[in-house]
């Protein structure tokens, strides 16, 4: 297997690029975050046959790496940066294709990255390096694409079945499409020395899109102002402070979620129609605002108790929490209505047009999210299903517990918990009573593992002296 080195300090972009190369070629990639680390790695690894490098990196730039390679081990070099060649000093004569050089610009260059790498490698081999022919003969049609095992640590679920390779033609499925998995499962395979998982060839492009979309919002985040941070942290802490002691929360998790909420507000700012509703909600400081922020937090805390605590999962839950009732911002009391089944509404007088507003809000908001096209996948589904109930009595679709997605199940339980404690004096008895109640109502399918974890967390907390 040919080995190449990818050098870039941007973790998200580097992961996306190496996912593409590994999944669509037989190449094995190694990664470095800086020029110094790359120079050390190249010196120690004579088998590296090509280098792809970013330009701007802390502690040294792509030109320094390029100059080092020219002097010591002239191997093919691909410059892959967001800068144009005109913006870079000393790269006037770059790329010299006969020397096995190429230039690609971020992010569009991702599309042709794998082809460029293969073509540069082949050209440099035609120019004197041997072994290509034997390699070519050995290549077989790929039915499965490989994915570096570490890539799966970024998620708690993925939109394709995942396999491990047992022998040349035998693959064993270990994770089902969209099934929730935890870090320990991946680490178990890492400990066995497995470096790659596999997906079916026909699934690779949708898995790549899922990955790219998940990082889309991370890539577009900017730094938020101090005033915004102070403001929202203060609010969040006031609301959440009371419940934390009952859930055995570790400060680091609370801090991560807090930072996510703040930066997610910034992401939403980039979508004016959604941000307009969000600002209204934040200015109103009413029920929708308070319970949305609380759900953003609590769903992250519940997920972290289930070991589904990758930043990607917490981000999806947090964004879904912030936006799940946003179209009801002008009628905040409607967001309090959990179900609109006949049984539930006959005791309340709700005007017909309000019933329609409630019934349609999951679909309306999830469509807005899909159209915005900048949020990680699954958020629209969480919002679409946030009023479903495990016994099929929810709305809009009346899904049964096995049809409600695992992330939506976490969200639904978290919203129930938030609604049960909202504006109540929280104490041990109230909290235990709420958990008992949740355990009876939600003891079905995908919900089971969640309430087990929640119950365990609460029990552990109360055992503490
Ligand atoms: Fe809600
Ligand atoms: Fe709702």
Task: Report all structural domains of the chain as residue ranges with CATH numbers, in order of start.
Answer: 3-212 (3.40.50.2300), 224-463 (1.10.3210.10)
**Residue 384 CA to ligand 2 centre (angstroms):** 9
Q: What is the pLDDT of residue 408?
A: 95
Q: pLDDT for 371-395, tens place per residue?
A: 888 788 899 999 999 999 999 999 9
CB-count burial class (<10 Å; 0-12, 13-18, 19+) for 259: middle
Closest ligand to C-alpha of residue 298 is 1
What's the CA gap between 431 and 417, in Å, rounded? 9
Task: Give 254 or 369, the one with higher predicted confidence.
Answer: 369
Q: What is the pLDDT of residue 183?
A: 84
What's the CA gap between 28 and 408, in Å, rounded? 37
Nearest to 257 by CA among 306, 295, 210: 295
**Residue 361 CA to ligand 1 centre (angstroms):** 10
Any idea which of 4-8, 383-387, 460-464 has the lowest mean pLDDT? 460-464
**Residue 396 CA to ligand 1 centre (angstroms):** 14
What's the CA gap between 329 and 354, in Å, rounded? 13
Closest ligand to C-alpha of residue 292 is 1
Question: Which run of H or E residues covers position 50?
Answer: strand 48-53
Q: What is the pLDDT of residue 463?
A: 52
The three-class DSSP label of residue 104 is: strand
**Residue 368 CA to ligand 1 centre (angstroms):** 17
Q: Contact 352/366 with Cβ under 8 angstroms?
A: no
In the chain, pLDDT over 70 holds for what percent of residues? 84
Q: Contact 387/357 with Cβ under 8 angstroms?
A: no
Q: Contact 383/365 with Cβ under 8 angstroms?
A: yes
Closest ligand to C-alpha of residue 328 is 2
| DSSP annotation of 391 | T
* Backbone phi and psi for residue 49, each to the nearest 5 degrees, phi listed first: -110, -10
Q: What is the pLDDT of residue 461?
A: 61
**Residue 386 CA to ligand 2 centre (angstroms):** 6
Q: Is the pLDDT of residue 96 over 80?
A: no
**Residue 282 CA to ligand 1 centre (angstroms):** 15
Q: pLDDT for 50-82, tens place per residue?
A: 999 999 998 889 999 999 998 998 899 999 998
Arithmetic mean of pLDDT, 307-329: 88
**Residue 325 CA to ligand 1 centre (angstroms):** 5
**Residue 180 CA to ligand 1 centre (angstroms):** 23
Q: How far is CA 363 from each of CA 154, 293, 384, 389, 446, rounded to the nearest angstrom? A: 28, 21, 5, 16, 22
Q: Contact 100/75 with Cβ under 8 angstroms?
A: yes
Query: Mean pLDDT of all residues in the chain?
Result: 82
Q: Is the pLDDT of residue 210 over 50?
A: yes
What's the CA gap between 408 and 406, in Å, rounded? 5
Task: Give 245 or 47, the one with higher predicted confidence.
Answer: 47
Q: What is the pLDDT of residue 409?
A: 93
């Amino acid at each position: 297997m040919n080995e190449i080195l990818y050098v870039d300090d941007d973790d998200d972009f580097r992961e996306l690029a190496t996912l593409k190369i590994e999944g669509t070629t037989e190449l094995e990639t190694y990664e470095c975050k800086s020029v110094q680390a790359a120079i050390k790695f190249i010196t120690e690894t004579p088998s590296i046959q090509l280098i792809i490098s970013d330009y701007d990196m802390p502690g040294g730039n792509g030109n320094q790496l390029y100059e080092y390679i020219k002097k010591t081990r002239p191997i093919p070099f691909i410059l892959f940066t967001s800068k144009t060649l005109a913006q870079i000093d000393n790269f006037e004569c770059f790329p010299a294709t006969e020397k096995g050089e190429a230039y690609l610009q971020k992010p569009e260059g991702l599309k042709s990255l794998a082809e460029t790498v293969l073509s540069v490698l082949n050209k440099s081999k035609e120019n004197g390096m041997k072994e290509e022919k034997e390699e070519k003969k050995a290549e077989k049609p790929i039915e499965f694409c490989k994915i570096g095992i570490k890539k799966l640590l970024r998620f708690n679920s993925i939109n394709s079945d995942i396999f491990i390779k047992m022998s040349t033609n035998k693959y064993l499925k270990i994770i089902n499409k969209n099934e929730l998995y935890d870090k320990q499962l991946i680490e178990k395979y890492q400990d066995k020395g497995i470096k790659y998982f596999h997906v079916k060839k026909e699934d690779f492009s949708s898995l790549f899109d899922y990955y790219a979309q998940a990082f889309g919002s991370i890539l577009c985040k900017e730094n938020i102002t101090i005033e915004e941070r102070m403001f929202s942290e203060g609010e969040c802490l006031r609301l959440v402070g009371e419940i934390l002691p009952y859930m055995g929360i570790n400060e680091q998790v609370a801090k991560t979620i807090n930072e996510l909420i703040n930066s997610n507000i910034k992401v939403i700012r980039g979508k004016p129609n959604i941000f307009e509703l969000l600002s209204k909600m934040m200015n109103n400081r009413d029920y929708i605002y308070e319970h949305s922020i609380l759900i953003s937090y609590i769903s992250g805390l519940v997920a972290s108790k289930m070991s589904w605590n990758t930043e990607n999962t917490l981000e999806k839950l947090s964004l879904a929490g912030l936006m799940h009732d946003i179209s009801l911002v002008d009628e905040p009391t409607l967001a309090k209505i959990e179900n609109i089944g006949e049984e539930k509404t006959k005791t309340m007088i709700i005007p017909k047009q309000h019933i329609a507003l409630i019934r349609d809000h999951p679909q309306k908001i999830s469509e807005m999210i899909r159209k915005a096209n900048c949020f990680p996948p699954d958020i629209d589904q969480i919002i679409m299903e946030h009023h479903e109930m495990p016994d099929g009595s929810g709305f809009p679709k009346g899904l049964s517990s096995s049809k409600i997605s695992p992330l939506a199940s976490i969200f639904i339980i978290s919203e129930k918990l938030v609604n049960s404690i909202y504006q109540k004096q929280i104490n041990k008895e109230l909290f235990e009573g709420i958990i008992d109640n949740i355990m009876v109502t939600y003891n079905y399918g995908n919900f089971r593992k969640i309430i087990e974890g929640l119950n365990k967390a609460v029990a552990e907390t109360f055992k503490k002296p």
